[in-house]
Structure 1
Amino acid sequence: MKALYIASTGMSAEERNVEVISNNIANMRTTGYKRQRAEFQDLLYQQMRRAGSQTSNQGNMIPAGLEIGSGVRTVATPRVMSQGSVSPTEKDLDIAIRGDGFFMIQMPDGRTGYTRDGSFERDATGQLVNSSGFVLQPGITIPDTAKSIAIAPNGTVEATLGTDAAPTQLGQLQLANFVNKAGLESVGDNLFVETAASGTPQIGLPNADSNGDLLQGYLEMSNVNSVTEIADLIAAQRAYEMNARVISGADEMMQSTSQMR
């Protein structure tokens, strides 16, 4: 009975949906996290009677065909790249992006990672690094004598050095943008890498070149909405239960057939 296998694809798809939702809920407090959603497609159909087939020599045609579907599959889990809320931290090296753009991080394997997580620290040499110790690109070094570090909305980094009266510019932050942000590949540690689907990065200054501006002393929170996720979870659970009931019903029908005399 095909209903058994059709319903099993529904259960498998909803299981994947629940996994995506659970990952969103688990990352509700992850800085710069972008929620995912599961997308589905129906599977191939078996044509029992094809619409438009002739039924007589006079050219009469079947107005509606008879086709049986094979179920459903999960085809993608794209990320929703909407802006998350920004939260004050009162920390000089915390930076939130308000608008489009990603910080660029030099990964240990030589690749460039892209992130919305702007929680930076200084390493032993004074370079700005992320929480994993990966260097921010372009590299910016803040000397030990630096005081009153200021990061402007356009990415200019300044600080007062030693006994100097005037601030000194230490560097310029840049942002990367992509034509298809959903095409970025997640590699963990709040980092994405480019793919053929995302396109090449378009690097520019904050508050220019279609990039957002920067907020010093703030961090962008995740864009996960707990109420929406719980509602989606309940819907996924009910869909899973209904598919399981179809399997149970098909089993009872087969049992009734086997008991016929």
Structure 2
Amino acid sequence: MDELGSVLLAAMRADMDRVGAIAHNVANVSTAGFKRVFSMAGGPGEPLLQPDRRQGALSRTGSPLDVAMEGRGFLAVEGQPLLSRGGMLRRDDQGRLVFAGSGLPVAGEEGALLLQAGAFRIDASGALFQGERRVGRLRQVQPAPDTRLEAVGNGLYRFHGGVDEVGHEGQGRFRQGFLEMSNVNASTEMVALVATTRHFESLQKVLHGLDALHDRTLRTLGEF
């Protein structure tokens, strides 16, 4: 295939990657803490899906096991290179505070967070209390500027690179009894889907025309 045909095929593959990202966004429009993703060229293999880190709206749930973050930062998974903005939590059978969707332990500043039976509260700084006893504090991190985040499902992102601890002065504010909603706008995604589909179809027509031109050229040359 000539250079123009290769360029057209690359553009069509990019459109298909964009459609895949749009479908992923629409499927997660109601997923708490989900960040809209967009496709980036990443060389051979799977496209890179990078999250749009803008804040989603907060919704009051009243559940003590829900916690939202206002401002910068991510919650961390204990012992794994995973981050999340989704604050739907639960206690597992070991008494650990874990992410509800994945069952992975939420990281505290000093390791996993262990809770006794009974009520607990989370203050604006992320400190956990049972009665007057301080249990620990949610670890809050911020990806370094050159760190890439890869969406892996259940509102989790695998980070490739480094993360920085968010200092107390620069940290976001925690809101117990709230969830951060997805920052996906379904209407915007549908408009993007229509535009991307039309662009793909126009490239497809050009490619078909190019193939037809090549066929005519070969037939003409064969007559000599």
Same fold (TM over 0.5): yes
User: Could you tell me how far apart the structure 1 residues matched to 2:188 and 2:158 are?
Assistant: 28
* Residue identity opposite 2:105 in structure 1: V
1:189 aligned onto 2:159: no
Paired residues of 2:59 and 2:181 also in contact (CA < 8 A): yes
Residue in 2 that maps onto 1:118 = 87
State yes or no: 1:231 paired with 2:191. yes
Aligned partners of 1:177 and 1:211 also within 8 Å:
no
Change (3 A) 1:78 1:213: same
2:201 maps to which of 212, 231, 241: 241
The question of whether the paired residues in 2 share the 8 Å contact of 1:14 and 1:236 is answered with yes
Equivalent-residue separation in structure 1 for 2:146 and 2:123 (angstroms):
25
Task: Give the number of aligned pairs.
Answer: 213
Equivalent residue number for residue 152 of structure 1: 123
2:165 corresponds to 1:203: yes
Tell me, what secondary structure is at the counterpart of 1:194?
strand
- Displacement after TM superposition at 1:126 (Å): 2.4
Q: Structure 2: where are the runs of 5+ without partners?
A: none
| Higher helix proportion | 2
Structure 2 vs 1, CA of residues 181 and 129 (structure 1 numbering), >3 Å: closer, same or farther? farther
Identical columns (%): 29
Counterpart in the other structure of 2:210 = 250
**2:52 aligned to which of 68, 72, 80:** 80
Distance 1:181 1:84, change over 3 A: farther
Q: 1:114 to 1:40 in 2, by over 3 A?
A: closer
In structure 2, the partner of 1:142 is: 115
Are 2:72 and 1:103 equivalent residues in the alignment? Answer: no
Distance 2:140 2:64 in 1: 19
Q: Which range is displaced more, 233-242 or 11-20? A: 11-20
**Secondary structure at the residue paired with 2:205?**
helix
TM, length-normalised to structure 1: 0.72
**Could you tell me how far apart the structure 2 residues matched to 1:137 and 1:16 are?**
33
In 2: Cα distance, 1:255 partner to 1:225 partner: 45
Aligned to 1:168: 133
* Aligned residue type for 2:37: Q
Does residue 1:92 correspond to 2:64, yes or no? yes
Note the C-alpha offset of 1:24.
1.3
What letter is aligned with 1:86? L
Report the TM-score when normalising by structure 2.
0.83
Give yes or no for contact 2:147–2:159 (8 Å, CA) kept in 1: no
